[in-house]
Structure 1
């Protein structure tokens, strides 16, 4: 064809064998690609991958041409490993060659940014990131931008709302940018499995762009409803959407249903080394990751934990260790997800199922990107639903608390810490609510804190109800995936509205069970012993929360040392793999007459035998409870009898006892319990006292009761509780 290359939907020579089917362009008016574009793009592609025979996957060149030649807005929905990053790096270089300014790439995770910067350098793209991890480099980056020495600037969506960046740097960047890229664009949609409020403000940013600035949004995990939502937020008519087949021919899927956490851990201990290469073991909670990693370490298997609590430098080190196959696996929460790039990842195992098939597809997509085969196995847990229900509502605003935030804000900035004394929300949830209100235009982040914009805000209850219903349907679909007798890959494709869905011929339902489902009795015993560990630490409170005066409590600064509790112990966190299960059952059914006996009592006695205290306690006291009065009382009685210690009894309730409900932030929790307990009726010895409670949430009840015992003469107070939130 003279003057151009006609795009074809048929098969072409590809960079790897894990591609099939055809692509589905939407909004295409002319698929003729100029010869000069095709030639220049192919040359950059071959430099990027280091192969002189490399050609584009179906849809890649079409997306590049739409961006470079037509300056269009493009949405690419393609499976992991298809080459979405190649599209925006090649388009960036071509735009730069035509005199355009740098690309702004909005990327959600530090791990993803690191991989993208490395990939960019291989293509000759000068890419840098601005994030919390490299604040010391920001001044140098600003100088490079001013000198036009940067091709791609990677920023997080959170950084877009940093007051200094938003007000002083971003306007100048947007005025001369050549391309805006929104990576992992499903995060824009609150219908998506990984919605992030910070992403919603990207729609406002895009709406202010000039008509000649192209926009590219990419994702591997979006069903039709999420695609439509992203298209709407990209704005402007004539959006080109390119959807490809989502089947992963390299993945061998399977589900192994086992009875409990002990059996799942036993399977892992016995069969992990049989899985190919190195991989990822996903858990639903931080405690699950830490417990599993510890059990594997004791069995001589190097599989470190990687969670949201892992230090950023340590995360980078662990990612590198996995990429270099220096570990068998990382035991990770969803903190290790989008964008982590190890093309030869050999397996993904889930101990507990994600809350939707779409989220599951996203995580298993880490495996087998450049290899002919990779193993994917799901070991669902009986506790999965409870965990899903908690996370399903965490990003949805609460109307009452949202109005409380708006009522507490004015024209003068107020910090998040200061707001905690006005709104009964934990810090993480308060920050999330502020982001939602910010995106809705009701509040704005300024230097020094948050202000009200004065714009009216109304709670969209109907929308949030529909989202909650969608989350519930997704959870049921995950259960259906576990139980289906049909092809598992086809099931996942249909959940993503992939019209090319067809049986894979490889999964356990198509080709038969490919994994050994048995475990030896000795291994099960070892797993049971690993999960039978008792005694997590309770860190004592050392500082009163800020802003207590506004709640009518005259406490501030550091808690006097002579009034503090010592470091305590708790049998387990409710999310623990071992004792977490029995404790969840206990508290779910606990009533006024529920007592602690048998294995639970013996486990708590074991904690005492292992406790390395400075001085043995001389007596036992317990925290009174109106809802479960026999729980802590019976535990205190059993401990006192086993240790042959005097039982002082319970502290007295004053003014009716604690007010309010559990949960919320420190300021409100302290205000609910301060002045509500007294040790005045107890014969407190001038030595250490063991203080028993059934459940530790914020820790302020223990702190206040310990202070009362210290003021009554105890030289130390050693807290001990059955369970802790987490």
Structure 2
């Protein structure tokens, strides 16, 4: 990230460390005037606890934790407080905000109140110098900062000290992210403890969230209490009821293939515009395509959408130019469309607290909004994948610390990755936590070990894992439950003492949604959802640092050694072919792979993939990767392809040095090392390849990291194959 250059941030004169920051006698009237500007309504009044929070911040200089339902108006508290503080000569408010969509909403809301707000995040790097200059000129009332900035060396060194000295109010939005007990823990948020400890005495602090149970509240409160003198600052907690009178909740259990046809048939009946949540990016893309084919105006939204596209998509939903955005959780915290009419989930999140947070997008300023969950058979597999991204074990931590301690200088993340057995995202999580805890430090050029002693909190991480398992079981109970009010269930999981039956959900009042399908549009959806074929992009470069683990390759893979882009029938989590793939690669009760010939159903999908491939040159032969788990499946697929496609059957590659080692998981470098020089082309196969006039089809059952196919294709190319076309049944990506 570029250095944060520009004029120094000029803090205003520090106010006295004690006493009210504004005149208590006029605070109430002044606050109401700001609220009316913010809402553009002369009859606007504060909700319960809003004015109390403003008083605690500005009169008592308190640290305040606000736990209130979505739509209660937490942003009104900090915008009103900011306007009053700035009028009194205080410095700018700094808001730590986790999502770009949330920042955009907050900037627009601030402008309505006459508050000048600017952001510093990964999406507006080109604007940083201008923002810094405005700060120095005193022209910024609110600075919104992503938590990742707090962990950036340039920001910490050149921005943060001045900001901390001149800050008028610190706001931690979505404060449940501070706690690793929460459903959405983010390690960058742990830097907030350092920021709290650096604030001048008497600086007010506001933390806000709508999704914190008692355990998270306790954890966040303990962290908010930290000051320059250590822990001990009193924290005022304002907690209100979490019920949402406008929401009508339901769960519809349908066979997996029926969920999308049901939605296509009934999406138009749902009120207004809304959000259809999916659990993966691929699902969001596929569902949006299917619903558009059925005649609905929808768009896909995910973390892979670039910033400009996200802005355009959010605006389209805000302006009701689309019926729905089909989105991952990237469209979550803080997205504010008061008249959002519905939220539908195709697949259950792994936590009822996360689910409450997402459904809370609906019904903020309308009397009625519909919330429906359509659980699927693939849900738990997706939960398991996300759980695998959690904090690594002690061996991995020791390995990372050991490598950094022995290095002569900073080690970049790409250079560190091949020397430890961790995927990039898991490694980055570990480094952030170690950085916050003081065991490593991020510097220009990479990471260094500090030499500080660090202990792995096995008991704490075990409790976190147990809490996650408890949340997953609670979500199963929510899906299956028919005896407890849906809203009451969610509120009780959030430890809301005021939880009561809502009287509107499908448990309290019976199903409010159609439970059958008429079949309208099913043929269109069948064609889209059941259309097999996923591109498996060929690897074009070797991982960084392979030489350090004994594999002498680097840079780009030579063109003459590469595979072409391949194909798979589908992803394992796909709504269409996912179920068939999961059956084909299932395990028995003792965890052993179930093997057998490829089914006619799957083979039919494979042949359709081949017909629609669009290759430049048709394959003339087929060879398979040897499978130790499912030999019948792979061999039958290869032989049937040879017969049906009139391809020369080259048999299978041979295993060398014991065959590929390792398994699923691990980073890219480790996965490559596990297969390097462990697959070869038998002499008889090489002799047959020498006389071929076209490409070779390379068959495997499952694609994960793509390194097995990459190495196998390289061996075939080195043996003389003019081109290699990888083909697999399923892919994880």
TM-score by length of 1: 0.94
Distance 2:702 2:474 in 1: 34
1:181-580, aligned counterparts within 5 Å? 181-235=171-225, 236-260=232-256, 262-410=257-405, 412-482=409-479, 483-580=481-578
Is this contact kept in 1: 2:288–2:299, CA < 8 A? yes
Shift of 1:82: 0.8
1:237-286 Cα deviation digits (max 9, x unpaired): 321100011110111111111121x2110110100000011000011111
Structure 2 counterpart of 1:586:
584
SS at 1:720's partner residue?
strand
Distance 1:139 1:438 in 2: 27
SS at 2:531's partner residue?
coil
Shift of 1:525: 4.1
Distance 1:658 1:477 in 2: 39
1:634-669 Cα deviation digits (max 9, x unpaired): 211111111011100111212111122233222112
Structure 2 counterpart of 1:147:
137
Distance 2:91 2:695 in 1: 68
Is this contact kept in 1: 2:94–2:145, CA < 8 A? yes
Is this contact kept in 1: 2:333–2:357, CA < 8 A? yes
Structure 1 counterpart of 2:699:
692
Shift of 1:484: 3.3
Structure 2 counterpart of 1:716:
723
Shift of 1:591: 3.3
Shift of 1:233: 0.4
Larger mean CA deviation between 544-553 and 127-136 belongs to 544-553
Structure 2 counterpart of 1:633:
635
**Of 145, 168, 172, the match for 1:178:** 168
Which segments of 5 or more consecutive residues in structure 1 lack a partner in the other structure? 1-29
Structure 1 counterpart of 2:7:
none
SS at 1:409's partner residue?
helix
**Of 101, 109, 112, the match for 1:122:** 112
Distance 1:247 1:33 in 2: 35
Distance 1:629 1:438 in 2: 46
Shift of 1:393: 4.4
Distance 2:544 2:473 in 1: 43
Q: CA RMSD in A?
A: 1.6
Is this contact kept in 2: 1:687–1:715, CA < 8 A? yes
Distance 2:485 2:702 in 1: 44
Q: 1:520 to 1:133 in 2, by over 3 A?
A: same
Is this contact kept in 2: 1:356–1:474, CA < 8 A? yes
1:113-150 Cα deviation digits (max 9, x unpaired): 00000100000111100011111111111111111110
Structure 2 counterpart of 1:12:
none
Is this contact kept in 2: 1:347–1:376, CA < 8 A? yes
1:428-472 Cα deviation digits (max 9, x unpaired): 121112112222221111111111111112211111111111111
1:59-78 Cα deviation digits (max 9, x unpaired): 01110011111111000001
TM-score by length of 2: 0.93
1:597 aligns with 2:599: yes
Distance 2:595 2:323 in 1: 48
Q: 1:363 to 1:33 in 2, by over 3 A?
A: farther
Larger mean CA deviation between 467-476 and 314-323 belongs to 467-476
Shift of 1:349: 0.4
Q: 1:661 to 1:479 in 2, by over 3 A?
A: closer
**Of 611, 614, 634, the match for 1:612:** 614
**Of 60, 72, 93, the match for 2:83:** 93
Structure 2 counterpart of 1:26:
none
SS at 1:133's partner residue?
coil
Distance 1:83 1:33 in 2: 24
Which segments of 5 or more consecutive residues in structure 2 lack a partner in the other structure? 1-19, 226-231
How many aligned residue pairs are there?
695
Q: 1:75 to 1:592 in 2, by over 3 A?
A: closer
Is this contact kept in 1: 2:586–2:594, CA < 8 A? no
Q: 1:457 to 1:594 in 2, by over 3 A?
A: farther
